[in-house]
Amino acid sequence: MEASAGKSVTQIMQKAHQEAEEIKRGAEAKAEAIKASHLENAKKSADMEQNKLIYNAKAENKMRIIKEKDAVIQRAFFDAKKSLDSFRDHTTYKEDFKKMLQEAVRELEGENVSLHIDTQDEPLCRQVLDDLGRNSEIVGDLTSAGGLAVSTKDGKVVVSNTIESRLSNAKELLKREVYSALFGD
């Protein structure tokens, strides 16, 4: 009986070792699967983070380029305005002023108007009015590189035809052309 009991204990022990080995192999396989899953998730997360960083860097770079290009364009218009500061000194200024006055007055045709000028242009304005046979009130209340503004007597309607207002209007119209000329885009 003791021999039979020893044989049974040995069989039970062998069976227990076999079951333990099977459980261990199953656990190792599950551990490998879990490890592979975690590695795959970590790789996906790292890839997503990398793509996000690249996208943000590209967007940041694009904004920097846009700002730089805009600064160049702003500088081009600043330089254009600066070169217009001597507009009054050009030999054609009398004729240019006359055309600017006529254009502005035409906008308010039929109205009794006031001419708003830089005081530097007062003698020229009086001469142009005499040449045109017009009689309008002259108000020296502008600071400008040249040109004038015309208003109705009540001041409700004002037509600005100064060098600065023309440059401002041209700036919006020419911005795309200047951009293309500077950057070829």
Query: What confidence tier does 1 reach under pLDDT thresholds 50, 70, 90?
Result: low
Distance between start and end Cα atoms, the chain: 100
**Side chain identity at residue 99, one-letter code:** K
Q: Which residue did the predictor score with more confidence, 29 or 7? A: 29
Query: What confidence tier does 113 reach under pLDDT thresholds 50, 70, 90?
Result: very high
96-121: average pLDDT: 92
132-144: average pLDDT: 92
How is residue 134 written in tokens? Answer: 């017009």
35-49: average pLDDT: 88
Q: What is the CATH number of domain 87-183?
A: 3.30.2320.30
Measured CA to CA, the distance from residue 13 to residue 4 in angstroms comes to 14
Matching residue, tokens 């700036």 = 171
**Domain parsing of the chain, residue ranges:** 1-84, 87-183
What is the pLDDT, as a whole number, of residue 76? 80
Measured CA to CA, the distance from residue 28 to residue 107 in angstroms comes to 90
145-160: average pLDDT: 92
How is residue 164 written in tokens? Answer: 């600065």
Query: What confidence tier does 59 reach under pLDDT thresholds 50, 70, 90?
Result: very high
107-127: average pLDDT: 92
pLDDT score of 5 more than 70: no
151 closest CA partner among 161, 143, 165: 161
pTM of the model: 0.60
pLDDT score of 2 more than 70: no
Q: Which pLDDT tens digit goes with each residue over 155-182?
A: 899 999 999 998 888 887 777 777 777 7
pLDDT score of 83 more than 90: no
Measured CA to CA, the distance from residue 83 to residue 53 in angstroms comes to 45
pLDDT score of 43 more than 70: yes
What is the pLDDT, as a whole number, of residue 183? 76
